Amino acid sequence: MKSRILLSSPHMSGNEQKYINEAFETNWIAPLGPNVNAFEKELADYVGTAGAAATSSGTAAIHLALELLGVGYGDTVFCSSLTFVASANPILYAGAEPVFIDSEEETWNMSPVALARAFEDAQERRELPKAVIVVNLYGQSAKMDELMSICERYEVPLIEDAAESLGSLYKGKKSGSFGHFGIYSFNGNKIITTSGGGMLVSNDLVALDQSRFLATQARDAAKHYQHSTLGYNYRMSNILAGVGRAQLEVLDERVQARRDVFDRYVQALGDIEGVRFMPELEGTYSNRWLTALTLDSEVIKITPYELIDLLEKENIEARPVWKPLHMQPLFEGCKFYPHAEGDVVGERLFAEGLCLPSGSNMTVEEQERVIGVLRKHVYRVAV
C-alpha cells in the first residue's frame, strides 16, 4: 500500500518542544499563563491589530464575537453560505437566526451584490441584522472594501472569519484585521496549528478584555465566586499556546510552501480545458491554504466525487468544496440571497469544486503522485 497523502496535515517546526518545556518547568499547566499572553501579543503584532485573545477554538472565538456584539434571541445575523458549518453554528448558540449570503465568482466569497439586496430587504422590514460574518475561503480574502462599505452604510458590525486565511493579504493588510472582530483557527488541519485553538482579534481592547472575562466563566470581582452574567470556558491552555508561538514563527514559510504547491498544480494541470483554479483577486495575496479548482461539467465528464474515489484508491485524500449552508438540513428554512436571480454561485462551486492535498509538508514526489492520477482521468471530452 502506498503511503497516505493527507489533504492538510500538521507541520511542526521543531521549536514547539522548547515552549512546551518552559511551560512544564514553570508548572504553568493551565488555561492562561505566559505562553498565552505572549502568543496573543505576537499574533496581534503579526496581523496588525491592537490586541488578541486566545481561545479554545475558532468556533469559540466567533461565539464570543457575537456575544460581545449583543447578538441574542430573535436577532438575525448575515453569514456567508459557502463555508464550513462552524462559521454559522455560533449564531444558533446565541439563539439568533442566520440569513445566508451567496458567493461571487472572483473570490468565491460573499457577493456584495447579494449582501446589498439582503440589506435592502431587511431595511424594508425593519429587521437589520446585528452582525455580518464574512468568510475568507481557502485563504482567499473576500471583497472587503465593497462588503465593509455596505455594512458601514447600515452601521452593522462585521466579523471576519479568517480561520482559513491567516497570513493572507488584502491590499497590503493582513486578512482577518478588517472587521470589528476577526477570528482565526489553529485546528489540526489549518495553516498553523496548536492541535486545537483559536484567536479573537480586534482594535477594541475593551471588548477583548470583556471576551477574556466571558471566556473564563464571567467571574465578578469578588473574593467569593460570584457571577452576574453567563460565561464560558473558552480560553486556550498555556501548553497549546506554546505550540502556537513556535508555529507562528514559521507561518510565512508555510504560506510560501502552500503557494508553491498551488503553483505546481497549475503548471501540471492548468492546460486542461475545463479545469479552473480558484482565482486570486487583484490586490490580494492568498495563503492558498487548500488548492481548490472546478471541473466544468460541460467539457469534463468526470465528476469531483468520482475523482475523490479514484484518488482514495491511491491512498490520497481529496475533498469536495464546502457544501453551502443554505443547502444543509440543519439550516432548513433559513433565508438565502443568491448572487443573482437564477444564478446561485455557491451551488455551482459546490457541484464542480474539488480540494486537493495542499500540506506544506507534502513532498514534490507525493504531489507528483496526485498529479499523475489527475492527468490520467481529467481531460476534455471531444464533442
Ligand X SMILES: *Cc1c(COP(=O)(O)O)cnc(C)c1O
Contacts with ligand X by CB under 6 A lie at: 57-59, 83-84, 86-87, 135, 161, 163-164, 185, 187, 198
CA dihedral 115, 129, 186, 319 (to 10 degrees): -50
Contact 156, 131 (CB under 8 A): yes
Q: Give the nearest distance from C-beta 26 to ligand X in angstroms.
A: 27
Q: Say whether 54 sits in a helix, a strand or coil.
A: strand
Q: Give the nearest distance from C-beta 328 to ligand X in angstroms.
A: 14
CA distances from 277 to 55, 108, 280, 293 (A): 33, 11, 9, 4
C-alpha cell at 201: 482579534
Q: Give the nearest distance from C-beta 96 to ligand X in angstroms.
A: 17
Q: Give the nearest distance from C-beta 87 to ligand X in angstroms.
A: 5
Residue 249: phi, psi to the nearest 5?
-60, -30
8-state DSSP, 65: H
Q: Give the nearest distance from C-beta 188 to ligand X in angstroms.
A: 9
What residue number has its CB nearest to ligand X? 58
Distance (Å, whole) CA 76 – CA 148: 18
Q: Give the nearest distance from C-beta 123 to ligand X in angstroms.
A: 28
Helix (H) or strand (E) holding 79: strand 76-80
Q: What residues have CB less than 8 Å from 207, skipping those under 6 apart? A: 68, 181
Q: Which is nearer to ligand X, 84 or 336 (CB)?
A: 84
Q: Which is nearer to ligand X, 163 or 374 (CB)?
A: 163
Distance (Å, whole) CA 312 – CA 306: 10
Q: Which is nearer to ligand X, 87 or 238 (CB)?
A: 87
Contact 106, 253 (CB under 8 A): no
Residue 199: phi, psi to the nearest 5?
-150, 135
Q: Which is nearer to ligand X, 117 or 326 (CB)?
A: 326
Q: Give the nearest distance from C-beta 249 to ligand X in angstroms.
A: 20
